[in-house]
Amino acid sequence: MSLQIEIDRISFGYESSSLLFEEFSLSLVGGSSVALVGESGSGKSTLLNLIAGLEIPNSGSIKVFNTRLDTLSSAELNIYRRDRLGFIFQTFHLIPHLTVLQNIMVPGLLTDDSFSNIEKKAIELLRVLRLDKRKGALPANLSGGEKQRTCIARALMNDPSIILADEPTGNLDQLNTTTVIDSLLDRCKLRNVTLIIATHSPTIADKMDTSITISNQRIVPV
C-alpha cells in the first residue's frame, strides 16, 4: 500500500500554551485503521485538525495524497475537506430542524451531484446503518446510538478517502459503542477508507489495525 498521509517533523502549539507537538512525524498508508491514544490534552484532537487542514503546523509539513496542505488556498482546502474527508464528532453536530435523511444529505448538496443521486446514496446509507426506519425523525427524537450512526452516514456521504473521528463513542453505552465502531470499520474496509480515531478506549484501540500513543509531544514507542 502507498503512503496516504505523511507528517514530517511538525511542531505546533497555540500562543497561549506550550508546544503540543515538537519534531513529530507519522506516516499512514491508505486503507488502514488507526487509533490515536493519549491523555486529555495530549494533542489527539489537534492532530486530527492538522490532518484536516483546519490548523497549520508552525514548522514541518503534512502531505496528504502527496500534496502539502500548507500550500493550498482556503478554497482548495475546502474542496479537499469536502471531497476527501469525512468527519465524525463526539457531540454529533446534527442540524436540529433537519430530519435524519436530510442531515445525511447535507455534504452531498455541496457537490455537483444531482439531488436524486444524493438522496439515493443517503437512503442506501440509512439501510446499511440500520436507520431506514428513522429517516424522517428529528435529532431530538433519536437515541445516542442513532445520532452517532447518523453522523457516520453523513461522514460517508461523499465517499471520503479518509475519515477522522474524534471520540466518536464518548457519549454512548457499551452496546451502542460496539455497534457504532463495528459498523464504521465494516464500511471502511469495504470501501478501502482510512480511519483515524482519537479515543481513550482500549477496547476501540484493539479493534484498529494500529494503535498510536501520543505523549510528551511525540509518539510513544511500542
Per-residue model confidence as pLDDT tens digits over 105-132: 999 999 999 999 999 999 999 998 889 9
The span from the CA of 93 to the CA of 220, in Å, is 32
Q: What is the pTM of this model?
A: 0.88
Write down the pLDDT at residue 119.
Answer: 97
Q: How sure is the predictor about 49, in pLDDT bands with cuts at 50, 70 and 90? A: very high
CA 39 to chain CA mean position, Å: 19
Q: How many domains does the chain have?
A: 1
The span from the CA of 108 to the CA of 83, in Å, is 10
Residues spanned by the domain of 154: 3-219
Which residue from 169, 166, 147 is spatially nearest to 40, judged by alpha carbons?
166
Count Cβ atoms below 10 Å from residue 122 Cβ, excluding itself. 24
Write down the pLDDT at residue 217.
Answer: 67
Q: In this structure, what CATH number is given to the domain that contains residue 162?
A: 3.40.50.300
**Whether the Cβ atoms of residue 61 and residue 21 lie closer than 8 Å to each other:** no
Q: How sure is the predictor about 177, in pLDDT bands with cuts at 50, 70 and 90? A: confident
**Whether the Cβ atoms of residue 152 and residue 182 lie closer than 8 Å to each other:** no
